[in-house]
Amino acid sequence: METIDEKKATILIVDDTPDSIAVLSSILKAHYRVKVSTSGEKALGIAAGNPPPDLILLDVMMPGMDGYETCRRLKANPATADIPVIFLTAKNGEADEEQGLALGAADYITKPPSPPIVLARIGTHLHLKSVRDFLRDKNEYLEAEVSRRTADIGRIQDATMMVIGSLAETRDNETANHIRRIQLYVRVLAEKLAEHPRFSDAFMAETIERFAKSAPLHDIGKVGIPDGILTKPTALDPEEFELMKTHTTIGRDAISRAEKLLGAPSSFLSAARDMAGSHHERWDGSGYPQGLCGEAIPLEGRIMAICDVYDTLRNGRIYKPPYTHERAVEDIREGAGSQFDPDIALAFLEVSDRFREIAEKYNDEERSDQ
């Protein structure tokens, strides 16, 4: 990266007095490129040009726009705010200097100018600008690199969740596109809930994204359920159903162990853990595995409960045919306040047409690898 120290810097002299311009030019021309403006208005245009000057020597007393106003406008414009301004003026009062520095000037020199002082002050402020520019460029690079690596981590997390979630799906091959649909259902429902006064504080954009990304792991515990139960062509008997219910704790505990390996509870996994462990709880407390009720059920579980039930009803199982969209919606309507959080059920009803679209687009006749 080329810095000011590696090239001949450009100094803009802003002064309406020919004698002052001549004196300053004679001091500077052996060391710097020199540009001249005889008014504040013209100086603003030159400073905003391409390339801009590296430093501005600015008189205070000029007709029209004076030096103070010129400096104020330079500092107010993002395109010129970082150009160092040194006042060089006959106004030598302490209040004058204080006013100039308060406007953002880097320095204040009184006339008549001493060549060694002018050159020393300019050299100092050019060097400081070079250092600031270098640090700014370095910080921008580091921020871009952090963003890139964070995005890489996010993609790895997404892929990990999808691959692990697919393990459960392979055990239950009637739901080929279940994971894809569930992710989309969760996103649609969470976005709707973000508009609800009861949930708006809980749903920022990153929360919605995290819930959707966590959805593939909600049934990961099924990897611990015997094939004979998962693929049984008839309804489960009571003993088999009790075993099937353990997929919630198997999944929850597996994700909890992963969190412990990370050293602390992780937002990356906490939503997945709560979805896996609580999506079969019921609002009235009659669900499993813990019999939680009401708001004691994690929000992730309450959302997943509706999304999972809708998908199960629409796509059926070996032992029962799929429901129509209308019948699935009616079942959820009837379950509001008993099986489902009533406000989340109401939000579902308001976006049920979008659920229908997702179900039809990713129906089980379309394999997930197509």
The least confident of 62-66, 134-138, 307-311, 362-366 is: 362-366
Cis peptide before 51 (omega within 30 of 0): yes
pLDDT cut 70: percent of the chain above it: 87
Token look-up 């997945």 returns: 272
Query: How would residue 368 be classed by pLDDT, with cut points 50, 70 and 90?
Result: very low
Distance CA 2, CA 5 (A): 8
What is the mean pLDDT of the segment spanning 348-358?
A: 97
Nearest Cα neighbor of 210 from 142, 136, 270, 131 is 270
216-260 pLDDT, tens per residue?
Answer: 889 888 888 888 888 888 888 999 999 999 999 999 998 888 888
Residue 51 has pLDDT above 60, yes or no: yes
With 0-12 / 13-18 / 19 or more C-beta atoms within 10 angstroms meaning exposed / middle / buried, residue 3 is middle
Residue 364 has pLDDT above 50, yes or no: yes
Distance CA 163, CA 11 (A): 61
Nearest Cα neighbor of 58 from 31, 5, 78, 80 is 80
Residue 3 has a pLDDT of 43
263-284 pLDDT, tens per residue?
Answer: 766 667 889 999 999 999 999 9
Token look-up 């406000």 returns: 343
With 0-12 / 13-18 / 19 or more C-beta atoms within 10 angstroms meaning exposed / middle / buried, residue 221 is buried
Q: Are 277 and 218 in contact (CB under 8 A)?
A: no
Q: Any idea what DSSP says for residue 340?
A: B
Nearest Cα neighbor of 68 from 49, 94, 90, 87 is 87
What CATH topology corresponds to 171-361? Hypothetical protein af1432 (1.10.3210)
- The strand pairing partners of 87, in sequence order, are 58, 108
Query: How would residue 140 be classed by pLDDT, with cut points 50, 70 and 90?
Result: confident
2-42 pLDDT, tens per residue?
Answer: 444 446 899 999 999 999 999 999 999 999 999 999 999 99
Instruction: Tell me the CATH number of domain 4-141, given options 3.60.15.10, 3.40.50.2300, 3.10.620.30, 3.10.105.10.
Output: 3.40.50.2300
Residue 122 has pLDDT above 70, yes or no: yes
Say whether 34 sits in a helix, a strand or coil.
Answer: strand
Residue 152 has pLDDT above 80, yes or no: no
Say whether 90 sits in a helix, a strand or coil.
Answer: coil
Token look-up 């929360």 returns: 207
Q: Distance of CA 158 to CAs 151, 172, 183, 208, Å? A: 10, 21, 11, 14
**Domain parsing of the chain, residue ranges:** 4-141, 171-361
